[in-house]
Structure 1
Amino acid sequence: MKKVSMQDIADRLGVSKGTVSLVLSGKAKGNRISDETSMKVKQAAKEMNYYPNEIARSLSTGITMSIGVIVTDISNEFFGSLTFHIQERAKKYGYTVITMNTNESLEEFYDAVSILLNKQIDGIIFVPVAGGECVVEKIIERNLPIVQIDRFYPELKASYIVVDNYKASMQATELLIHKGHKKIAAINYDINLNTLLERRQGYIDMMKRYGLFDPSLIKDINYEDQEEQIRQAIIDLKDNPDKVEAIFFCSRRVFITGIKHMRREGIRIPEDMEVLSFDKIETISIANIPISFIEQPIARMGEGTVDMLMEQIHGDRQIKQSVLNTEIKHSI
């Protein structure tokens, strides 16, 4: 079926193509086009299933009305929910969202940025990956609006919205200590990113404050081989001569994999070990597993990031950096 053009609408109504263009671009009143003509053009466009040529419009205006979003793991509940709130907020500005996934890979991060730049998007919201500063610098050189979310590159002068990971980790660790636990393990990704480093350090500093720190209870997991390494970490903690009483999982995905292997090893929660997760896990309530978790303000993060990006797109290039607080909650 032939795509309907503005000329087709003009021919049907016996008006000029320019009149149709002005009406459909919202400029009718400023060009003395009557309400009656505007109504006829809009009605004809609807009846004829007319859709604007976004490519042509972006070439003439330099604006695509689209933004890019780059996350590290779209299958992760946290990033899935974050992307949802970003998309819903972007809709209110009339923007569409193109989402890309990196799997914590620098190469895939570079590819995602390249694809989005080639699509001439108006701005990018992204979750940084380790070593990606040079990629982001190229975006900055193009004067393209960007906002970092969940993590940030400390060396770059760029806007971001994150949570206070260090404070959240300290509060979570102290909660476990106040419950009477002394042997508290921490399982975390071994990735050089400030978010994960802050969570690790918060745990370490709180354990040291109470004189409980034992470096052997920290299990740093390689992202590429995480399934096997988390399995082995759980076995090591189960077989530890000094009974491990609790585990602080420093990320959602580590927690989900860790819980799976705890159950396979016959570890009862919380009778044998108590667990605390960084991030809320919706499915845990269904499984009836009693856990404590750190809840991040995902909606505020997603919506606030879009607001920041839109301010830049509309000309305000002031760098804004927001750090939000978290809450510790309980599943049941």
Structure 2
Amino acid sequence: MKVSLKNIAEALNLSKATVSWILSGQGEAKGFSEATIKRVKDYAESVNYRPNLLARSLSLGTSNTIGLIIPFLGDTFYAQLASAIELEAARNKYALIVCSSEGDGDKEFELIRTLKAKQVDGIIIAPTKVSKKGIDLLSEETFPYVLVDRYYPNLPSNYVIVNNTQSCYDVVHYLGKKGARKIALLTTDIHLYVMKQRVEGYRKALQDLGLDSDLSLGLFIERQNYQTDIIDKLDCLFQEVPDVDGFFFSTHYLALEAIRYFINHQIDYQHRFHLGCFHETIALDVLAPEMCVTRMPIDKMGVEAVKILLDNIQQGGDFSFRNVVLENEFSPSFSLLGK
């Protein structure tokens, strides 16, 4: 049988209010003796008492819970970001509810409504950009939220992103200095502003290298079926530009799929091409140890997002937006990354 505050109060011959104050951590402030506080806590533990968190949140106006909406649970980057956010939330005594929008704007909207109905105190979101009606709802209600990894440049909001343009510039410029003259770009989700920034970094580097920057070597991969679409696009590239000598991947999973293609087609990619990638994923360091990489500061992103959100929660409806742009870690190769 579930034990209630009333059961504990009756067993100890105390008032329900006394038990409630002590178990909510307000015993000392209310002037109860150490012996009484200990007696209540020890008994509650002995009967395996668990508080009604929903009732508590309604009473206190806070649930000490935040929501996180990411596009894809299976993506290694978002899995690592969720882990970083959860660690920082826990350090601040907050629980985290993680949801996946699957890149669907309508699902994102419904998840926002669901999290609000569950009385979360705030939400961190990597938005789909397909639809921002959920974000508009949060803005209209001045509900605390932080955008992470992605953002809307014309929407006043909290966000934590990285310097996408400069990070991509650094990688592509390095490939050019190493001797690459026909550097193909593989990118996706071009509707996202951060992806546009990455393409801009690629183009600017080509311009400064004196190379063609009209995106004639740009391969725009469809996100929903990228594993098959990348094969068709690479087939066409090698037919039309057989002397391509470099590749820049605007996201980690495209790099992994391209290497799968190279291996299946028996292409000696490690010696034939100069390779560069935005961020990393499992096995890339083994499959392409000499690939140039710009690594995202995932832990810092998680810490900053939680910090901004909790500040807004504590400030109530009267909070100001904060924008954080972090720098990636550049490395000429995976073998030198972090050294």
**What is the TM-score normalised by the length of structure 1?**
0.95
1:328 matched to 2:327? The reply is no
Q: Which residue of 1 aligns with 2:32?
A: 33
Moved more, 16-25 or 3-12: 3-12
Distance 1:10 1:118 in 2: 31
Moved more, 315-324 or 7-16: 7-16
Q: Which residue of 2 aligns with 1:19?
A: 18
Change beyond 3 A, Cα 1:145–1:197 = same
Cα deviation for residue 228 of structure 1 reads 1.6
Q: What SS class does the counterpart of residue 224 from structure 2 fall into?
A: coil
Letter in 1 for 2:224: E
Q: Which residue of 1 aligns with 2:259?
A: 259
Answer whether contact 1:191 1:222 (CA < 8 A) is retained.
Answer: no
Change beyond 3 A, Cα 1:253–1:288 = closer
Change beyond 3 A, Cα 1:136–1:228 = same
Alpha-carbon RMSD across the aligned residues, in angstroms, is: 1.5
Moved more, 8-17 or 196-205: 8-17
Distance 2:252 2:118 in 1: 32
Q: Which residue of 2 aligns with 1:10?
A: 9
Cα deviation for residue 250 of structure 1 reads 0.3
Distance 1:282 1:242 in 2: 29
Q: Which residue of 2 aligns with 1:236?
A: 236
Answer whether contact 1:130 1:191 (CA < 8 A) is retained.
Answer: no
Counting only pairs closer than 5 Å after superposition, residues 109-120 of structure 1 correspond to structure 2 as 109-120=108-119
Letter in 2 for 1:198: Q
Q: Which residue of 2 aligns with 1:150?
A: 149
Change beyond 3 A, Cα 1:179–1:288 = closer
Answer whether contact 2:270 2:288 (CA < 8 A) is retained.
Answer: no
Letter in 2 for 1:218: G
**What is the TM-score normalised by the length of structure 2?**
0.93
Aligned length: 331
Cα deviation for residue 190 of structure 1 reads 4.1
Q: What SS class does the counterpart of residue 225 from structure 1 fall into?
A: helix
Counting only pairs closer than 5 Å after superposition, residues 266-277 of structure 1 correspond to structure 2 as 266-277=266-277
Change beyond 3 A, Cα 1:259–1:242 = closer
Moved more, 302-311 or 111-120: 111-120
Cα deviation for residue 20 of structure 1 reads 0.8
Cα deviation for residue 320 of structure 1 reads 0.6
Q: Which residue of 2 aligns with 1:75?
A: 74
Letter in 2 for 1:43: D
Cα deviation for residue 38 of structure 1 reads 0.1
Cα deviation for residue 138 of structure 1 reads 0.7
Q: Which residue of 2 aligns with 1:304?
A: 304
Moved more, 2-11 or 43-52: 2-11
Distance 1:290 1:268 in 2: 13
Letter in 1 for 2:84: H
Q: Deviations over 1:17-38 (max 9, x none)?
A: 1111110111112222111000
- Gapped runs of 5+ residues in structure 1? none
Distance 1:105 1:21 in 2: 43
Cα deviation for residue 253 of structure 1 reads 1.8
Q: Deviations over 1:101-157 (max 9, x none)?
A: 122221221222122122121101001112333321111112210111001111211
Counting only pairs closer than 5 Å after superposition, residues 139-288 of structure 1 correspond to structure 2 as 139-213=138-212, 215-287=215-287
Q: What SS class does the counterpart of residue 81 from structure 1 fall into?
A: helix
Q: Which residue of 1 aligns with 2:63?
A: 64
Q: Deviations over 1:54-86 (max 9, x none)?
A: 011111122111111011112111111110010
Cα deviation for residue 237 of structure 1 reads 2.9
Answer whether contact 2:256 2:284 (CA < 8 A) is retained.
Answer: no
Answer whether contact 2:106 2:131 (CA < 8 A) is retained.
Answer: no
Identity %: 28
Moved more, 305-314 or 213-222: 213-222
Q: What SS class does the counterpart of residue 45 from structure 1 fall into?
A: helix
Cα deviation for residue 289 of structure 1 reads 4.3
